[in-house]
Amino acid sequence: MTPKTKLSCRNVWKLYGANAEAFLKDNPSPSGEEIRSAGIIGAVRNASIDIAEGEIFIIMGLSGSGKSTLVRCLSRLIEPTGGEVLFDGVDLLTASERELIQIRRHKMGMVFQHFALLPHLTVLQNVMFPLTVQGAPKAEAEAKARDVVELVGLKGREDYYPRELSGGQQQRVGIARSLVTEPDLWFLDEPFSALDPLIRREMQDEFLRLQARLHKTIVFITHDFEEAVRLADRIAIMKDGEIIQVATPEELVLNPATGYVAEFTRHIPRSKVLTVAGLMTPGAGCSGEPVLQSARISEVAERIISAEDALPVADEAGQIVGSIDRTAIAHVLFGAGDAA
């Protein structure tokens, strides 16, 4: 069954400069050179994507690639110069200010790199804040906030102030605050990039745990491909305001659309990206405890290499769909040009 599209954009542009809207109206599909010649900056250029309900969709790119600008266009924190942004089939660009406020309050959650916690409020009060703005009864707001504080692993710290928390704990408060309204759509703009590596890894684990329970539709920005590989269902890579390729992490590594995408993924260990499904030999014909076709090679490599014979591969329903042997694994781990 095809997943429902939750959020999509069609031919979205964000141009900065004098008379940008008039320029785009006169030049519906301008080239990069035409944009520069007009003295205009093309922050987002003709972006079109579809994001499925329950998907973790990651937008990547180097600084200045347009990824944060695109997300702000998708949430209409900034106004696109042209195009459509559809949320549950409704064009956000035609929504009134009042309608947009209601959508943001009740259907969207946002987490940014800088936590923006209110320093004079406790953890519980910070998490309650969106419900307070909505006018929810205090007892109901507090009960919901306590549940979400526990969900993100901060039970017992409800009365702490932000200054009394570590960076990772502060980010958990920001995540809790964005979740307390039970949003349908969740935007996260480099939420872990300011954290130390160990805490960042812990927050990624926490993020995956939350998603397994909540099944949100998530748009996540990062410039870290290893982080994207861990978290993403699909990844969009941007360059100079354009979306260069949208694909699964595995597809990006195996079939990069351009040299830029290939260079972007070149230093990522293939064993952390490729799955058993991509290396197996289809069909039945061997015995033993099967490995899952969805497993990353890095997760099962030792077991497959140490097995005397090929191991069966099973799908999520437990049906045997193929086999995999140590030769296929060795090619990934030790093949020419691959990083183990």
Cα–Cα distance for residue pair 227/203, rounded to 1 Å: 11
In angstroms, rounded to a whole number, what is the distance separating the alpha carbons of residues 174 and 126?
8
Beta bridge partners of 221: 59, 189
Q: 213-233, pLDDT tens digit by residue? A: 889 999 999 988 889 988 999
- Position 202 scores a pLDDT of 85
pLDDT of res. 163 = 93
Of 264, 105, 259, 114, residue with least CA distance to 182:
105
Q: What is the DSSP letter of 167?
A: H
Write out the DSSP string of 32-89: HHHHHHTT-EEEEEEEEEEEETT-EEEEE-STTSSHHHHHHHHTTSS--SEEEEEETT
pLDDT in tens, 187-214: 999 888 877 888 888 888 888 988 998 8
Strands, E assignment, the chain? 5-16, 41-52, 56-60, 82-87, 90-91, 108-112, 185-189, 217-222, 234-239, 242-247, 281-282, 291-292, 311-314, 320-324
Domains, the chain, ranges and CATH? 5-107+183-268 (3.40.50.300), 271-334 (3.90.1280.20)
Q: What is the pLDDT of residues 254-281, one digit of tens each?
A: 899 999 999 888 888 888 888 999 889 9
Mean pLDDT of 43-62: 95
pLDDT at 102 over 90: no
Using CB atoms within 10 A of its CB, is residue 11 exposed (0-12), middle (13-18) or buried (19+)? middle
3-state DSSP assignment of residue 236: strand
What is the Cα–Cα distance from 333 to 339, expressed in whole angstroms? Answer: 7
Q: What is the pLDDT of residues 304-338, one digit of tens each?
A: 999 988 999 999 898 999 999 999 898 888 764 44
- In angstroms, what CA-CA distances link 15 with 18, 33, 61, 84, 237? 9, 14, 18, 15, 19
Q: What percent of the chain has pLDDT over 70?
A: 98
For residue 1, give both structure tokens.
Answer: 């069954």
